């Protein structure tokens, strides 16, 4: 069973942590409506929604992808740069502990789940402003004994690895080469984001279906021509918080612990 962990929108979302974009007021009511449609889109992909407890004191808490990485055998709690964001881990750990044994990263590690892209037993980790070499090394120490291989990827010009590169399946990536060093992905087919749509690469793929943020018609056409079935959902309020589709859920299959 495919699970999707989500969390409700925080009323203080406009106070979110920003790196590249200027701060703009976020319409929380509209964001909540968009989040509901996002959950409905995940359900349409076959996912069962599991909602983590709300965190009204933590502005970024809707972005559940960053505090944890869920693999078949374990869930790894990350080490986020922001002390405020680090508090998001506590209630999320309680929920994930129902499904997986928990592991954790410690200082000097800094790592966020948005920088972690899994392709089978290969784990690609973005070296970005949000994830450092110590974070990559500690993650490797935790999961390589389980049969995974960890591959660092240089990220430039965007927040996370998955801001500029996501796996579609069938050995194919959707990527913005301007932001991601694609050399670690040698052997994969690369569909490039159109120049006019640099943020289009952050997508969720389940089988032949791809969920894409609304507003990227050229990228949607590229995927359609390549044989993927594309659905879109409006996340414009979350885009103001430098968020993409993957940020707001943790997808994993239940019942896979050996």
Question: What residues are paired with 122 via a beta bridge?
Answer: 119, 149
Q: Quote the pLDDT of residue 20.
A: 87
Examine the pLDDT at 101 and tell me if it is beyond 90.
yes
Report DSSP letters for 71-139, one per residue. -SS-EEE-B-SSHHHHTTHHHHHHHHTTTS-EEE--TT--B-GGGEEEETTEEEEEEBTTB-HHHHHHH
Query: Tokens 């090394």 label which residue?
Result: 137
Residue 258 located in a structural domain: no
Residue 49 lies inside a defined structural domain of this protein: yes
User: Which residue, among 160, 206, 204, has the nearest Cα to 179 in the 3D structure?
Assistant: 160
- Beta-carbon neighbour count of residue 232 at 10 Å? 17
Half-sphere exposure of 50 (CA within 13 A, CB side): 18
Comparing 63-67, 113-117, 253-257, the range with the smallest average pLDDT is 253-257
Provide the residue range defining the domain that includes 8: 2-253
**What is the arithmetic mean of pLDDT over 41-52?**
98
What is the residue-averaged pLDDT of the chain? 96
Strand partners, 76: 69, 103
Structural domain includes residue 91: yes
In a domain, 47, yes or no: yes
Residue 173, domain member (yes or no): yes
Number of domains in the chain: 1
Let me know if residue 136 belongs to a domain.
yes
**Could you report the per-residue pLDDT of 142-182, keeping only the tens digit for each?**
999 999 999 999 999 899 999 999 999 999 999 999 999 99
pLDDT beyond 80 at 17 = yes
Judge whether 165 counts as a catalytic residue.
Answer: no
pLDDT one-digit tens code per residue, 188-213 = 999 999 999 999 999 999 999 999 99
Structure tokens at 68: 């944890």
Alpha carbons 84 and 16: distance in angstroms, whole number: 10
Residue 258 binned pLDDT confidence (cut-offs 50, 70, 90): very low
Residue 7 predicted with pLDDT over 80: yes
In a domain, 70, yes or no: yes
Catalytic residue among 35, 127, 160, 166: 160
Q: Which 3-state string (H, E, C) describes 19-85?
A: CCCCCCCCCHHHHHHHHHHHHHHHHHCCCEEEECCCCCCCCCCCCCCCCEEECCCCEEECECCCHHH
Range ranked top by mean pLDDT from 11-20, 65-74, 87-96: 65-74
Which residues are registered as beta bridge partners of 102? 75
Structural domain contains residue 181: yes
Q: List the structure tokens of 31.
A: 């964001």
pTM of the full structure: 0.96
pLDDT of residue 84: 87
Mean pLDDT across 210-239: 98
Active site residue 127: no
Residue 256's pLDDT is 53
Q: What is the pLDDT of residue 257?
A: 47
CATH code assigned at 65: 3.75.10.10
């Amino acid at each position: 069973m495919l699970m999707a962990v989500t969390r409700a929108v925080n009323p203080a979302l406009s106070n979110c942590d920003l790196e590249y974009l200027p701060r703009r007021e976020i319409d929380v009511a509209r964001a909540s409506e968009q989040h509901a449609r996002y959950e409905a889109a995940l359900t349409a992909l076959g996912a069962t929604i599991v909602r983590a407890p709300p965190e009204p004191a933590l502005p970024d808490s809707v972005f559940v992808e960053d505090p944890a990485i869920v693999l078949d055998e374990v869930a790894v709690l990350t080490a986020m740069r922001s002390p405020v964001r680090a508090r998001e881990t506590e209630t999320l750990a309680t929920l994930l502990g129902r499904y997986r044994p928990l592991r954790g990263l410690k200082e000097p590690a800094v790592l966020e789940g948005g920088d972690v892209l899994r392709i089978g037993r290969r784990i690609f980790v973005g070296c970005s402003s949000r994830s450092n070499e110590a974070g990559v090394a500690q993650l490797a120490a935790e999961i390589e004994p389980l049969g995974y291989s960890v591959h660092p990827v240089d990220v430039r010009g965007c927040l996370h690895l998955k801001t500029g590169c996501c796996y579609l399946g069938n050995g194919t990536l959707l990527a913005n080469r301007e932001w991601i060093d694609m050399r670690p992905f040698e052997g994969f087919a690369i569909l490039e984001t159109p120049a006019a749509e640099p943020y289009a690469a952050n997508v969720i793929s389940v089988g032949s279906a791809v969920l894409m943020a609304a507003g990227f018609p050229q990228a949607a056409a590229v995927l359609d021509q390549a044989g993927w079935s594309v659905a879109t959902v409006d996340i414009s309020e979350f885009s103001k918080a430098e968020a993409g589709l993957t940020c707001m859920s943790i997808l994993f299959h239940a019942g896979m612990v050996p």
